[in-house]
Structure 1
């Protein structure tokens, strides 16, 4: 593998909380040197031109749909979308067909990711067989096969007894549980946030309490079992309050928020826009404000996309019949920069921390750092670059984005995985 030299960048070290000018020399897929005025006698030189050189971004919540739903996305197309969005690694959820609840499916996902040859794909295994919430999966076997966490994402575990037992076993094998917090008897039949907008549109609503009751339950079970709990796609002010209180008590709980939940409200559903139909649903301005505050004070550890592609045919139906979900990989960095960094909610270092070291720490990965000897996984971001979102240009098969036509600033311009340039926007001088 040849050498690669990144010249003239501003290196972001989220672990140390620093940004400093430096060159980075990459050899054999690893970072060989970080310093001023580095030279390479051979290989490729990339003039970064003062842009930010970040550890490779990690999205710990994506749906790549393979096996079983390849019309929506494949591991190859999802990997391309991730690379274009600046992500060098993702954790993919197990709600495939068959469900990723056994060694064969986990091995298949890893093999397909290897064939795609672009980014690192870490499988999340199902918590219960078939994600039915009844019988636990073979957790030790799944960990050995390469799973990095357990989740029935997309489906809540209704039984507290099953969830308690799952946490006891997950703690034993040393992996976190990622919880999709939804009380199904409260959310049943709902298609958007329950409130003023659902009344105006005449659509059945999902109350904030449907999420908050399960957040409370799972925090109690985490405290009881000592199992690390990660709460997926937090969407309400009440959930934020529960997580903040639990952290203050020392409960091993972490949480993530999606760009769409800190950007949009339930008003995006106006006109019965199925691209804005997502689970948990888009909430109120008060909820968005609480999520931003939670990002700023560290209550929410991670920004993750919950990238959920669907076919045009599936989404282009009456609102109540459309599936939940929107794509997110290719708009995430721009939304983080436009909605959080530029307005001063997060500093560039804090934003990158929530996209790198924090997800890596939660999943027990060695990724998300820039240091000598580490894998050369790097994302180059241009904080001044702007674009108008056009889903027709996405690398993902999914076009279901509510951000079509939105102007974003702060975009990834190159993605490097294990020392190989897997995405180049064509704006850097490469010699």
Structure 2
């Protein structure tokens, strides 16, 4: 039986020779919360709080969350029903309910996959939900008709897994990635799958697994920079960023900084894009740039409670002027809003949140982080503006 979080915290604090009061000062976590955790009045806490406590105790975050944080509950009610057909289509025991006159074709499935990727990158989640179940079934049928359909089905499962991860349907994401694993044709696609799986593990709070997977693949993929292709550099760079993300959350800032230095080398080496030339779509790998690394640097600074550094890096990135579909731009802007709240720039923080809502209205409600940032903004106001009330309702902010 795994010891409760409070018991692990108390033992770690005593081993470090700190009183509850000193730990509160060192970590920035309130004394009352530490007492409630150790006394069992609170059974768990946010990953960010665990990281603060672990950093103050000079231990990895995973030493405190030994059981690994449980899955966040997927969206409920109407939002869960939104994805019910996708989840059903992933079940191999459920027959295709459609009565189709003609079998799917390679060209048709590929065109639908391109449309799915376009919807995903633009944040049109409702759009992709309408036809993704049919795409999954067509890909399964095609893979049974021709060997050329198998790699295509793998790509469909990759984008499905990413979508399920994004919408917090984690069990379905795991099924999709498992199905993709069975069809991986080469190392580049396998690396992309590792990148996607690491993201899933990270969102589920399984830091140790995520860190090991990302680090193992980053080490395996490390290229000779003088000969590396854009695809090689992008795959390596994204896995380095996953390594940095898990390390920073696990209170290992030196490991995170090392991964970011290597990621910077990958971005600097990346040749400029040539007109008409795009990356191979292997596993939905996106182009890796210095802006991508900059956003990760800001995220690491936010995890380490350095809001001034977040805003300094954000000025260099200039994400507000980037297209909404660029990399992790919208996630980065949540870090900016959080940093603005912590530096008492509440009006600016609200403007940043409204910008993200404008550009990614379907994406934003699925972000638990966004809800936490908005809660901080609302807590500082005696009277809410109409935009604050509307956004709080949209994101189902608890009363």
TM-score scaled by length of structure 2: 0.31
Larger RCO of the pair (alpha carbons < 8 Å, separation 6+): 1
TM-score scaled by length of structure 1: 0.30
Larger Rg: 2
Higher helix share: 2
Higher strand share: 1
